[in-house]
Structure 1
Amino acid sequence: MAREQFQNLTEPMYYILMSLLKEQCGVDIMEAVYKISNGRVRVGPGTLYALLGKFEKEKMIIETEVQGRKRSYIITEKGKEILLEERRRLITMVEDWDDYMEDKL
């Protein structure tokens, strides 16, 4: 079921998972998403914590530390697999574009 739910990742999902290749707390994740996306993607707290909850439920990430209200997370092997599958899907889409559009523009 997890693969179906996360068949295609949204940009925030993709960048959040990328940011969690390193253990981080929520504020650091929001900053990392902004930095990794070169300022194109901003994730607010509501979106972030909703997605972290879904990712954690599907065992794509794990909580690593709790200090008061501050919680830290890191991606799991399952999360890495889904992230890599999404990367492959995006590359395939670009290659399909290149092949099809080669002489059309």
Structure 2
Amino acid sequence: MSASSLLAIATLDAEWRVRTLLPLAMGWSDIVSRLVHDEGSWVALIQQRPGRGTPTPLPNDILFTRALLRSLRPLDIRLADHVIASGKERFSFREAGLL
């Protein structure tokens, strides 16, 4: 994952619409507290790459996604998708079969 990437966890409603966006910069303990308080069961990882680079995941993106999956499991929260957007293009881990 590039240091210049913007990352957020989106809490989703039952139809997988975004309810809230929690920037990862706010810290993991604050994010976990909000996720537990929200009582949602689905989240999505949203990654915005500045510029017009490719949205293809890097090895660190895949490792981070796997670590996030493991961290959410004990909270009974599931990862709906990890979407990487760059310019007008996007990459979906779910659509690519990586989740």
Alignment TM-score, normalising by the size of structure 2: 0.30
Structure number having the greater helix percentage: 1
Higher alpha-carbon Rg? 1
More strand by share: 2
